[in-house]
Amino acid sequence: MISASDFRNGVTIEVEGNVYQIIEFQHVKPGKGAAFVRTKLKNIKSGGVVEKTFRPTEKCPQARIDRKDMQYLYADGDLFYFMDTETYDQTALNAETVGDALKFVKENEMCKVCSHNGNVFSVEPPLFVELEITETEPGFKGDTATGASKPATVETGAQVNVPLFVNQGDVIKIDTRTGEYLSRV
């Protein structure tokens, strides 16, 4: 159990049968009346954000989220297969659970599979990936001064905006949280 006065960003709690992660919290002590804690909570299963207030003495059970490193093996239809590298157990997750988390992940890459009480609710890709560009328009000499960008398709099929000097066949580094080009490798 965690008291509302001990809330911190990133803490996961159970409220009304749902599991929430605290995005923002603020202790409010108005001039008149009792103090309270105003929070912004993200439902970790649906992704929805709600605002809720708590009395500082209110207690909530703290949710335990397990993040396990698993290797992404392959996709078969709308099922994605992951393997625990310690026990070699394979887990199949549906496309709804995975979402677009794997749009920058190649087969045999390591990901974090997040679960609560044994129920998997999301997949976290590595923060940065290196992918080869399979298709892009050629850049023209002298176009680099404008800082412009052009669309490019990487080997996983995802679209990324890259600077004009990047060509087909180049390997680039991508931030998977934002989908932005970082550098050439």
Q: What is the CATH number of the domain that holds 155?
A: 2.40.50.140
* 64-88 pLDDT, tens digit each: 888 888 998 888 888 889 998 888 8
Q: Looking at the structure, do residues 180 and 157 belong to the same domain, yes or no? A: yes
Q: Looking at the structure, do residues 73 and 30 belong to the same domain, yes or no? A: no
Whether 69 contacts 110, CB under 8 Å: yes
**Nearest alpha-carbon partner for 184 in 175, 171, 174:** 171
If one counts every other C-beta atom within 10 angstroms of the C-beta of residue 6, the result is: 13
Handedness of CA 22, 24, 25, 31 (dihedral sign): negative
* 126-138 pLDDT, tens digit each: 888 888 888 888 7
When divided into structural domains, the chain yields a total of 3
Q: What is the CATH number of the domain that holds 52?
A: 2.30.30.30
The pLDDT assigned to 140 comes to 65
Q: Looking at the structure, do residues 51 and 8 belong to the same domain, yes or no? A: yes
Which residue blocks in the chain are alpha helix, DSSP H?
Answer: 95-98
Q: Looking at the structure, do residues 33 and 73 belong to the same domain, yes or no? A: no
Q: Looking at the structure, do residues 118 and 100 belong to the same domain, yes or no? A: yes
Residue that is last in its domain, among 12, 28, 60: 60
Q: Looking at the structure, do residues 77 and 94 belong to the same domain, yes or no? A: yes
Give the Cα separation of 63 and 21 in Å (integer): 9
The one-letter amino acid at 131: L
Give the Cα separation of 125 and 77 in Å (integer): 20
Q: Looking at the structure, do residues 164 and 116 belong to the same domain, yes or no? A: no
Q: Which domain holds residue 109?
A: 65-124
The pLDDT assigned to 146 comes to 66
Give the Cα separation of 53 and 39 in Å (integer): 6
Q: Looking at the structure, do residues 98 and 75 belong to the same domain, yes or no? A: yes
Mean pLDDT over 46-59 rounds to 87
